Structure 1
């Protein structure tokens, strides 16, 4: 994060992704060297919400965020000393969005596209291959929330149950790795339609920034995870800026790691293991690649 006096209240569309729609770098860190700040706001969120979110994270993270931006602290270490406040530090306005119209409208048309570049996708798939239970086990159950037409799981990976929960039925029906799917808007009702202690793994790919009821969703994830099961929240610096919460668009990569870690920490006190971060941003010799981070924690047995 940078000083508030340096914040620029613009929403800069840096490229048109394969979505066919503009996708904004919500706060990019171009090729692992520099932290670039772009804030989105509107009359609906307003400067107050964005400034409030930026100021709040500045107070909570302080020089640690600056150190990450300057390359003096590895982003993975943000959660090694998170210094959690005693109480949930966020306010309702931190979860406001530019576009508060029903998400069902926004996601009504299917998007058979990917929202991160191929290098980031490959890095995430490789990571999943390293942490998932062995393929082919009938006893294993996996849940992909905010799912779509592709989950970026390893090619050929199977489990007894692979459930997808998303916003668009046409997208979900195209996801060949799912054994079942359900359509639901978690921003309207965070209740997951699954029994207690069901899943070994929960994944969420580049969508945690859209959740406006994150505590409720993380409480539900804890409920449906088996004891010892793990939830993996992966994210980059790409988003639909009109639908991302102001807390996200007002802050940077290090802050995002802390924010997602805080969801685990506060959702069910003592219910998750201490959250950790893995920076899986691919190293490339030439050109640019999207950064990629995973924040994860396990349900305490």
Structure 2
């Protein structure tokens, strides 16, 4: 699956001696086109930041090695642009209006400070047909994995008070879960979307939250999963097992953290989890609950597969595929999304306590970053 694994450190100064064989005008045009096409991918796709890999921080590579690495970067960026052209950039930003709550800013990057910031990996993608030897035709695609470590960000964890009182009776109508594109979701994911749906600060804040809130030796299930699960690099070794279910088997096949394997399943078509009762300690769901047309059924399944005292961690930002998100989600702001998820837990039953947090990262220059929120709920322990 992987034939290249290049780990890029976060220090941009190590690239100062790289000379690009392009004119200033050509380089500007290339950067403009690529920056437009990848505006919804991670901002880490920069020529100037991670164009080559230096062993032992050696700044004096030969010109031939530099050219090879530049060609690799061009291949990486062109593959990402091709992914954009296939329709992966259909994200929209909803209103950002979270309730401001008091909290403490914690620098959570210490544990992973020795980890690389990025891991560039070349994967082989089948594109149909056979070669002259009868083998499936493939092409190498370079993808960048964000580790969530070695970044300059701070990671505050601010509690958000859940105040909405939900009635005992189910208050929603069928049209609340309608979508502008009601077609089968499997068709939407026919082309693997090997991109990030949130930016690097949001990925990093989620990774640090997992590191600080999921105990070692836990059995973890990631639902609505993909080619990345945003877990810390050490989790495959420190956790008992990591399993996943998601709509695209191709994407899940590239997720190298799934020590417990995966099951490809469309939860909108079949809202059940293919696991035994009380199999897991933690269930995670990353920026995907807005796509579920039967979220309560899915949360009831999460309750079933959780052990008593286990928890569900639902993370959410303000980005989505607008045509696939349910109607009422698109009419709400971030604060209302948290209340809605809390309502889902209430109607699923058996989850107490339920808490919400704003874990949006803080940037050194206070620049824009995707917001990041958590709603966490614990499966009640049965009384004797």
Aligned to 2:354: 275
Q: Residue 91 of structure 2 contacts residue 321 of structure 2 at CA under 8 Å; is this kept in 1?
A: yes
2:249 aligned partner: 169
Residue in 2 that maps onto 1:286? 366
State whether residues 23 and 238 of structure 1, in contact with CA within 8 Å, keep that contact through their aligned partners in structure 2.
no
CA apart distance, 1:102: 0.1
Instruction: Name the stretch that deviates more: 154-163 or 173-182.
Output: 154-163
Q: How many Å apart are 1:209 and its aligned residue?
A: 0.5
- 1:93 paired residue number: 175
Matched residue, 1:239: 320
Deviations 1:207-252 (A, max 9, x none): 0110000110011000000000000000100000000001111110
Query: How far does residue 77 in structure 1 lie from its aligned partner after superposition?
Result: 3.4
Q: Which of structures 1 and 2 has the bigger CA Rg?
A: 2
1:278 Cα deviation after fit:
1.0
Residues 288 and 177 from structure 1, CA distance in 2 versus in 1: closer, same or farther, beyond 3 angstroms?
same
8 Å CA contact retained: 2:317, 2:373: yes
8 Å Cα contact 1:78-1:254 kept in structure 2: no
**CA distance in 2 between partners of 1:178 and 1:24 (Å):** 27
TM-superposed CA distance for 1:78, in Å, is 3.8
Alignment of structure 1 residues 188-227 onto 2, 5 Å: 188-227=269-308
Output the CA distance in 1 between the equivalents of 2:199 and 2:95.
14
Q: Answer 1 or 2: which has greater strand percent.
A: 2
CA distance in 2, matches of 1:177, 1:260: 27
Structure 1 residue matching 2:301: 3-state secondary structure: helix
Q: 2:231, 2:102 → 1: CA distance?
A: 30
Is 1:17 paired with 2:96?
no
User: 1:127-175, CA deviations, whole angstroms, 9 ceiling, x for partnerless residues?
Assistant: 00001112xx3xx311000000110001121222211101111111111
Q: Per the alignment, in what secondary structure is the counterpart of residue 281 of structure 2? A: strand
Q: Does 1:144 align with 2:222?
A: yes
* Closer/same/farther in 2, CA of residues 286 and 100 from structure 1, 3 Å limit: same
Q: What is the RMSD of the two structures over their aligned residues, measured on CA atoms?
A: 1.9
Equivalent pair of 2:160/2:358 in contact (CA under 8 Å): no
Q: What residue is the counterpart of 1:157 in the other structure?
A: 235
Matched, 1:182 2:260: no
Asked if the contact 1:78–1:257 (Cα under 8 Å) also holds between the matched residues in 2, the reply is no
Report the CA distance between 1:92 and its aligned residue.
Answer: 1.1
Unaligned runs of 5+ in 2: 1-37, 42-82, 104-157
Residues 109 and 168, structure 1, Cα contact 8 Å, conserved in 2: no
User: Contact conserved, 1:26 with 1:241, CA < 8 A, in 2?
Assistant: no
Contact 1:78 1:258 in 2 (8 A): no
TM-score (norm 1): 0.76
- TM-score, with length taken from structure 2: 0.60
Alignment coverage as a number of residue pairs? 242
**Structure 1 unmatched ranges of 5 or more:** 1-14, 30-34, 36-64
Mapped pair 1:103 → 2:185: yes
Please state if 1:124 is matched with 2:206: yes
CA shift, 1:26, in A, is 4.0
CA apart distance, 1:293: 0.2
1:27 aligns with 2:50: no
